Amino acid sequence: MPKSISWRKLVKKLKRLGFVGPHSGGRHLLMEKGDFKVSIPNPHRGDISKGLVAEILREIDMKVEEWERL
């Protein structure tokens, strides 16, 4: 299971993977890589929970080990 992470670090890691954004997409923000879009939570005071990080990793088809090395 991945570690919890701040919103800024989440965005930075996704940008390193080639995603652009975040862009508004209704209730949540979106980051895009080509035609693929991933929904990310809106910025808030606390860290993003490890469960939500795991869900984002499933969406982008990335293993936790690869994510931790970024």
Assigned token pair, 57:
């990793």
pLDDT digits (tens, 9 = 90+) for 15-34: 999 999 999 978 889 999 99
Topology annotation, domain 7-69: Metal Transport, Frataxin; Chain A (3.30.920)
Round the average pLDDT of the chain to a whole number and report it. 92
Q: Which residues of the chain have pLDDT under 70?
A: none
What residues does each domain of the chain span? Answer: 7-69
Nearest to 30 by CA among 3, 2, 59: 59
- Indicate the pTM of the whole model: 0.90
Give the chain's length.
70
